[in-house]
Structure formats: C-alpha cells, structure tokens
Structure 1
C-alpha cells in the first residue's frame, strides 16, 4: 500500500465526492462544509497521495474542476489554519495523516522486531513530526509496569530525554546496551552490569543522579504502555495531536479574525472572512490577476476604482446604506475605517479597541453583540449582492431597499438560527434593541 498506484480507487472516490457539478451548484460556504465532511473519512495515506488529495480539495473549494481552473483567492496555508488564527479551520490532510499514523506508533513499536513494511513506515513517523519542530518524545511516553518492553537506556520513559543521552558516560560502561527496565530495576533496587564499575568523580555524580531519577520506579504486573501528554487522562486523541501540528506551523498568528457564530450563515461569514483580506472578485482584484475588464470604476458612483474598501465602505452608496443602519440601531456615526472595521465587532466594541469597529461607540451585553455582529456581516453581504445585481442583471437596488433586506435577513437569522428569543417584527423594524 506504499505505492501511489494502489491508492487510485481512493483518489477516484475522493474526487467523486468533490465532483465538478457540486462545485458549480454549491455556494462557497457549502463547498467549505463538504470539504470538511469528506476529510473526516480519509484513511492514512502516503505523501504523494496526500498531495494529490489536497490538490483536489483546493480546486473544489474555489469552484474549479478537472480541466477548469479557478482563481485561488487565499493561500492554502491560510485556508487550512485554525479559525482562532484567522483561517477557515478545515485543517490539512498532512496534519491528519501524521496524527493518525502516530496513533499506531505504539503498536508499531511493540512489534518492530516482528513486522516490516507498513509498520516500519509508521515507526519512522517520529522523523516527520520532529521536522515540524514538535518533540515526539514530549507527546508519547512509555509508562512502565513490568518493564520488559521498555529499554532502560534507549527509550523515553524518565523525563524528556533517554538515559543514554542524559548519562553518556554510564551508557558507555553498560555491558548490554539494549537491556530492559526489568533487567536493571529489581525489587532490591538498581542492578547494573558494567564493563568497569564507575569510579571517577564525574561518573559517580552521573550514577547518583541516575539513582535519583529511577528512585520512584518499581516494576509491577502488566504490560508497558504509551501515554499521551496532550490529554489529562493519557489517552491519545487524534484531534488534539492534529491541532498541535497545525498550531506549530502557523505563520499568520495575530491576523484579524472574525466571528463564526451559528447565528450567521457560513456562506456569509466566509465572505466576510475574504472581504477582511480584500480577497473578493472586485474589479481591481480581477485586474491584478490578469482578467482585463473594460473598466475598473465602481458601478455605483463611477468616481472611484472598485476595490474592496471602496465598494463596501467608502462608496457614497455604501455610506448611505450604513448611515441608515446606524440610525436604525441608534448608534453614533463617526468616520469609518477600512472594511475590517465593519466586519469585526470584536469582543468589546468601541473606539478604543483596535480590533473592534472604530465606527461604533457602543458597549452591550452578549446578546446585543451577537446581533450587532449579524447586522455588520449582513451589511457587507447585502452591499455585495446589490453590486452583483447592478453588474450582472442591470438592476439598481435603492439604498432603502438594501436596508430593508438587511433588516429582514438578520431578523430571520436571529429568530431561526439564534436563541429564538426575538421581538416581534413590528418592534424589530423600528429598532433591533441592541
């Protein structure tokens, strides 16, 4: 199963689940959900196969298919990053693959003298994880019971290093370097077998430190086991290991994050995520990527280039809609910044919060913040939809009509997707009670 050709049926099945017609009919949020679901059923695979599967996922997420390439608006590393680090949280296949292989590492270790082939590859997964800067031996450690399956000098069972590395002088004097813990620690204490008994001052210091390290070890009945240090109960968890791998490879920590609450549909949250980075198909962005358009001017005001900030924040059309929303919410209307200030209400909204919306001088409770987030996201979403109506259908939607759409959509989200505790539409239409 190490050869890529044996994995062709898996690749074909994987590709069928992420087929072209699904990429054409599903929204970005729907494709995102499907990519996560397909990944959950993936078995362990060789590196070449992992690369092929990752390519299929990447192509599907951006709406492409075999022979039909689409623009990849955001780097794949960013997409697979956890949500708390500014990504979409779909995870990489490589991190899942390594986490699954590590789960089988203890079995491969216990049978390393009996089984070759695939088990041998699993046993070598330690090298892959240490390339990521994660100490394998800080994650899985031997828990000694009988001591017959644990090598005294070469295994990680005391501290974060082997006794061989910690006491090299004593290891050189050892007669049987592959001895087990059971052979060296008996009921009456440590039993060494040396070529020459330690006698120098340095070796005696090492010997006394060794006795201190193993003082609490007493062999008992039962098999030696591996324990995972990531979980309090010591049981290995693929999810925890995968998160550890992905967090270790993060290069975009500290970037602007958005809220992924259940009140807002995922397709809307995903669009706001892209808008925060300016990675939406505006005229300027399309022009930068080689798609030559007749004009890059804003389709609403015809006075500025259609970039993300202009379209969603600075355009007079967007400003008019936003001011009407401010009035509806009974919020002060100071000058706004870039689109990130609209799409990130933050944990504590206010002009003093650099991660909050600089245009809001508002502080409220948890329920109000959820509603405020939904209104901000819906504002961005409806402005984008109005732009598409103008360009692709030639229909101009009046600002007051956009505001009515925002009111009705957020009311529907709060009532059906939120806590359900929502006022009557007549009251909501007057003010959302933030």
Structure 2
C-alpha cells in the first residue's frame, strides 16, 4: 500500500512540476529552461568547434530539457520554436550575435544521415514518440500503478483501445490525457501502425475493431 501511495504521489508531483513549467504563469520558468540550453551550448564556445562538433553538441543539449516532461505532455509550440531557434543559430553561427544564413531547411537537417540529413533529433518527433509510448503501454497487459489511476478516472474501456479521440476526453480531463488522446487526431497514424492480437476477447469489439481495409465494420456499414 505504501509503495502504491508513493508511486501515485510521485505521479501527481511530476504533473504539477510540468504545469509549473509549461502551464499558465510559467513564463519565467520557461525562460529559465531556455537559458539552461543556452548555457549548455555556450559553455563550449564556438571558436574551436567544427560544424560536426556543433551537431554533436546540439543533440547532446536536448538532455538539458527534462525528457520526463517531454514524455508527459505536448510541448507548447512557442517553446519548441524557441528551442529550435537556439539550435539553428548555434549550428550555423555558433554563439555569434550576428545573423547567419541558414543554408538548409531545418526539416532536412533533422533527417537521418542515410536520407541525406545530418541526423539531428527533431524535438517535435521526440516529444510525439515519448507520448506514443504511453499509448502503447495502454495496449500492453502489464499491471502498473499509473494504469489504475487512469482507469479509475476515465474508465476501463480505454485499456486495449488503439484509437482514442475526442469522445475519450471528458471535460475534467488532464492536459496529459487530452494530449494522449489527440496525439494522432489528424491522420490516425498510431491506430494504423499498431496491430492487435486477440486473446480472451474482453477488450476486443467485433463491430468497432479494424479487421481489414483500414476501417471498422461500424464505419463500413453505418
């Protein structure tokens, strides 16, 4: 019981820390976090760091952003753009205050090396991937404390569902749960990428599951 209580308390505390950092009234703390990234890059200077060295540093400096927070909620677009701005400026001009020309689109730079990119990690994709891991865990059969918290609030029917959407987001839903449910709202990439292996059938709906053709029977025969 004590272990369960500690785990739940830790869960709540970490959500509170995220809200303090990226929620309303968190402008000062957001700026502090951005300054941490600037200092991490600035500690090396740029006079003797090659382009390849700067690429390594940019990837490493993502550790200045608490990965746990990125796995809990979607980073605000404004904050992400500021981080990318810092990274782009350092890549092309180091720590110089002069405006430097960005010769290649950031999207191309973030492509894997085998696709003619530089292999920089895309912060948006890192964020989405970490959030998707929670969706994946909801499909697994392990018994974790956080699942009991989520199911107690949102119902047992969320377990085993490949597709979550607006109907699964009540008015009292947390920001974390809202971001999780709407993660692939635009194109349903998570649902399409995940296959389901039927076991006892308790979490499987014959009418609502997608068996073939990319649509459920309910969608094909309304």
Which interval holds the TM-score relative to the shorter structure? 0.5 to 0.7
1:125 aligns with 2:183: yes
1:161 aligns with 2:161: no
Shift of 1:166: 2.9
CA RMSD in angstroms, aligned pairs only: 3.0
Shift of 1:31: 0.5
What SS is found at the alignment partner of 1:24? coil
**Which runs of no fewer than 5 residues in structure 1 stay unpaired?**
169-434
**Which runs of no fewer than 5 residues in structure 2 stay unpaired?**
1-18, 140-146, 156-172
Cα distance in 1 for residues equivalent to 2:206 and 2:34: 44
CA spacing shift, 1:147–1:38, aligned 2, 3 Å: farther
User: Retained in 1: the 8 A contact 2:113–2:119?
Assistant: yes
Cα distance in 1 for residues equivalent to 2:101 and 2:199: 56
What SS is found at the alignment partner of 1:126? coil
Normalised by the length of structure 2, the TM-score is 0.60
**Partner of 2:165 in structure 1?**
none
**Partner of 1:25 in structure 2?**
48
Cα distance in 2 for residues equivalent to 1:15 and 1:94: 19
**Partner of 2:198 in structure 1?**
144
Equivalences, count: 163
Larger radius of gyration: 1
CA spacing shift, 1:51–1:151, aligned 2, 3 Å: farther
Higher helix proportion? 2
Shift of 1:93: 1.1
Cα distance in 1 for residues equivalent to 2:196 and 2:63: 29
RCO higher in 1 or 2 (8 Å CA, sep ≥ 6)?
2
CA spacing shift, 1:97–1:154, aligned 2, 3 Å: same
**Where does 1:345-364 land on structure 2 (aligned, <5 Å)?**
none
1:49 to 79, 98, 123: 79
**Partner of 2:115 in structure 1?**
85
What SS is found at the alignment partner of 2:185? helix
User: Retained in 2: the 8 A contact 1:144–1:150?
Assistant: yes
Shift of 1:167: 3.0
What's the CA shift string for 1:395-424, capped at 9, x where partnerless? xxxxxxxxxxxxxxxxxxxxxxxxxxxxxx
**Where does 1:226-245 land on structure 2 (aligned, <5 Å)?**
none
